[in-house]
Amino acid sequence: MRELALHILDLARNSIEAGATTVILTIVENCERQSLEIELRDDGAGMDESMVERATDAFFSTRDTRRWGLGLALFKATCESSDGKLRVVSKVGEGTVVSARLTLGHLDCPPLGNMGAVIQALACEADRAAFRYRHVVGDREFEVGSEELQRDLDGVPLTNPVVLHWLADFVNRQLRAIGSRA
């Protein structure tokens, strides 16, 4: 995938499809260590140990609709191609944590991409799963979540087209404001 945002969106959608009611995304850009860390945590169905071992295999899927699952396999390949790694930790009934580390500035490290669009897509699923997004760059950070957005909107749904347009723009402006370089 050309942008890490597409991997992140795929992970978040998988979480929601696995029954998650909460999806927490944290991204940390550490310029000193030249690392980009991405963690997506959910409270979905989770996986047993044998499923976790096979989760990054492109020819494994828990879905009945197809026999392969390229999302984690492609994300793992993206991480490894930029001298990084991907880790999956999960427990049945408790959820899953996918942690990725990539090397910032590495020739094969894709750009982060349009995180505003990712959060916009998650807002469209807010009736199924609450989301929280935190992005850290050095000592600066930005955080947004569906619950406080819904509270602040006082009855206007997150799926309102005006809200969705504002949200995508707001997220991308905030990332620029904290100095995101990914």
Token pair in block for residue 122: 């998650």
Fold of 4-177: Heat Shock Protein 90 (3.30.565)
User: Kind of pairing, strands 35-42 and 130-137?
Assistant: unpaired
pLDDT for the residue 62: 54
Q: Residue 150 and residue 136: Cα distance in Å, rounded? A: 23
Amino acid at 3: E
Give pLDDT tens digits along the chain (182 positions). 689 999 999 999 999 999 999 999 999 999 899 999 999 999 999 999 988 887 777 665 555 554 444 688 899 999 999 999 999 999 999 999 999 999 999 999 999 999 999 999 999 999 999 999 999 999 999 999 999 999 999 999 999 999 999 999 999 999 999 999 87
Give the residue extent of every domain in the chain: 4-177
From first CA to last CA, the distance across the chain in angstroms is: 15
Q: Residue written as tokens 């979480």?
A: 15
Q: Which of 78, 24, 25, 27 is nearest to 56 (CA)?
A: 78
| pLDDT score for 143 | 98
Residue 107 DSSP SS3: coil
The answer to whether the CB of 105 falls within 8 A of the CB of 113 is no
Short-list 15, 24, 22, CA closest to 45: 15
